[in-house]
A and B are shown apart, each in its own frame.
Chain A
Amino acid sequence: MDAPPEPEVLGHDEPRLTDRWTALPDRTRRSVIITAGLLLLAGLTGYGLATRPATPVPTVPTESLMPYPLQSTELHYVEIDGPISGQKVFHVRLTAESSTGAALTHVTQGYDGLHLKAGPPLPIKLPPGQKVKFTVTFEVEQCAGVPLNASMAFLDVTLRNTRAIQVYSAILGDRYATDLSAALRALCEHPKRAASPGT
């Protein structure tokens, strides 16, 4: 008896993908799964990288270096007390503040005839972010060479932190210059007019 003829294939009736998959040897199927897994992983990684938000390039250095003391410290003039009648001294009240911490180790002004003394005694510790009040006492030892009418006045200050020691001029503004000149003139031009305590 002859075998029945193969039915004509009409349309798309080839073996299905699942039929072909199950027909593959185990070893081949394992290789395909591993390859597919790796490719999927690569694809997902690529997708993640492509859609990640752009990281802006920083405009300032990223290293956290301690700033130089001058860059992190501010000095402010508050007022002048005195001069007191009969004495050749007056007191300059100031505040200092360091954002990162520093020590104020030296205060001078450079003019002959003027002697300066700080209180509390130097060095004055400036804890980070804390405003510290201090006083510089001026003693006029001789009036010759003392700037009686300067429009600018400053203190030369030495600051120290863990990174550097810096000497700089703290230019304390017009009000300080005016008050300083008035105090010096009171002592050197009109010593009898020097203010009495309480006035």
Chain B
Amino acid sequence: MRHRSLLILTTGVTVGALTLSACGSRDEGDKSGGDETTTVTIGLDAPLTGDLSALGLGIKNSADLAVKTANKNKEVKGVKFELTSLDDVAQASQGQTNATKLVGNKEVMGVVGPLNSDVGQSMQKVFADANLVQVSPANTNPALTQGEKWQDDQKARPFKTYFRTSTTDAIQGPYAAHYMFKEKKLKKVFVIDDKKTYGAGLAGTFAEEFKKLGGKVVGTEHINPEDKDFSAVATKVKAANADFVYAGMEYPAGAPLAAQIKKAGAKIPTVGGDALFSPEYVKLAKANAAGDIASSVGAPLETLDTAKKFMSGYKAEGYKEGYDAYGGYAYDSTWAIIQAVKAVVEKNDGKLPEGDDARKQITEAMQDIKFSGVTGEVGFDEFGDTTNKQLSLYEVKKKDGKLQHVPVKSGEFEGGQ
């Protein structure tokens, strides 16, 4: 009888305590269950296969990390983000097809990408017509944001839907020109480009500034980016007696070109832009990459505290491919879209507006987005260009027992007052 009474009392108290506990879980469960969760899809376009896939996959993985972080942190209340990735194989026509496909998916509220400037150009109007915001982590051709007449002091923004987190070639090419002329004291250059929007544009800004400084362009050549045999060009470079080569192209052509120039007997450095700044460049050119120089957008990641968090997060996710040259910028591009969605949701009493209005409002919100990102303070100027205009030069040197790009100089565009 005594034991029975004890059992009754204990059971009563236990049930009471568990009920209180259960109330807590059920409340939260009810809350989340009661709230509607909207799925917002962020589109991504980059070369995920082919020669430039090392850069493209670094962009994709980094965007994926941003989406996972936003969902984990419940960055936007009531919104779950998803990423849908399309492969443009570094071709403008495929990029345009992908843009149309992304516009057709009504859940897509912003697009990250692409890598190549010519692909970016082919997508801009498609997105503009649909009011769908696009943030490129890697396009560097100035015309994309400032119009074709940007060099004639007639800057005009072509599309309000286009933004980028990377610095433009308007700074990258001239900065390398000053470095080679002033610090390396090399006065004669052979300029080679691949005739593409990015390569020809970058080579143009470099050569123009180099000549203004008093340097001499002793030869120019154009190559086909799909070629791998550049022996004829290498022979011309050797005969021209140049001090160095400026290569306006991407690493799949740039690395074998640099190696073949050295093999032809011209032991001179090859200098190029951010599309040569990849571990793949060193893998392809091997020992012949030593001494070559690449400029790239942004400050070296090891000098950015926020980048360290990104790098450890990337490692923890176990992505097979490295984040490469544009990973940090892809993360920031994705995060900018997430923040624009957040601004619109908060403005509309916790809900995303219906239909096309959501895309329109997100594009408008992007203009005022500001946050501390992986690559520094992220924001956009009146052209849609990043306000974070840092860039760095890297030389291929032996470090930690292997050849790799080592930072040699950094700069920051401070603008006027």
Give the interface of A toward B (CB within 8 A). 17, 20-21, 23-25, 28, 32, 35-36, 39-40, 42-44, 46-51, 54, 56-57, 59-61, 65, 67-68, 70-71, 74-78, 95, 110-111, 145, 147, 149-152, 154, 164, 166-176
Contact = CB atoms under 8 A, between A and B. Distances in A.
Interface string B8-22: 111001101111110
Contacts of B410: 70, 166, 168-169
Contact of A17 (B8, B10, B73, B178): B8
B309 interface: yes
Nearest to A65: B305
B5 interface: yes
A150 B177 CA distance: 10
A147 B214 contact: yes
B411 A56 contact: no
A170 B412 contact: yes
Contact of A78 (B5, B74, B417): B417
Contacts, number: 162
Contact of B305 (A57, A67, A173): A67
Contacts of B303: 68, 70-71, 164, 166
Contact of B14 (A39, A167, A173): A39
A13 to B, nearest CB: 16
Given A61-B309, A150-B209, A173-B414, A70 B299 contact: yes
- What 10 pairs across the A-B complex have the smallest Cβ distances? A43-B17, A50-B24, A169-B411, A46-B21, A152-B174, A36-B13, A173-B416, A76-B417, A20-B5, A47-B20
Contacts of B208: 151
B402 interface: no
B308 interface: yes
Interface centre among A47, A110, A145 (most CB of B within 10 A): A47
Interface of B: 1-2, 5-6, 8-10, 13-14, 16-21, 23-25, 27-28, 69, 72-75, 171, 174-175, 177-178, 182-183, 208-209, 212-214, 299, 303-306, 308-309, 372, 376, 389-390, 409-417
Contact of B304 (A71, A110, A172): A71
Nearest to A74: B414
Contact of A176 (B1, B212, B372, B416): B416
A21 to B, nearest CB: 7
Contacts of B309: 59-61
20 contacts: A20-B1, A24-B6, A28-B2, A43-B21, A46-B17, A46-B24, A50-B27, A56-B73, A59-B309, A68-B304, A70-B412, A151-B174, A166-B410, A167-B409, A169-B412, A170-B412, A170-B414, A171-B413, A174-B416, A176-B416
A24 B5 contact: yes
Contacts of A70: 299, 303, 390, 410, 412
A149 B24 contact: no
B306 A60 contact: yes
Contacts of A54: 74
A62 to B, nearest CB: 10
Contacts of B9: 21, 32, 36
Contact of B5 (A21, A35, A67, A152): A21
Contacts of A77: 414, 416-417
Contacts of B73: 56-57, 59
Contacts of B10: 32, 35-36, 39
Contacts of A95: 417
Nearest to A37: B13
A56 B214 contact: no
Contacts of B213: 147, 150
B312 to A, nearest CB: 10
Interface centre among B25, B177, B178, B214 (most CB of A within 10 A): B178
A152 B417 contact: no
Given A39-B17, A61-B309, A173 B413 contact: yes
Contacts of B19: 43
A42 B13 CA distance: 11
A54 B387 CA distance: 34
A24 B7 CA distance: 13
Given A17-B5, A71-B305, 16 more contacts: A39-B17, A43-B19, A48-B24, A61-B306, A61-B309, A68-B305, A76-B414, A150-B178, A151-B174, A152-B178, A168-B411, A169-B409, A170-B414, A171-B414, A173-B416, A174-B416
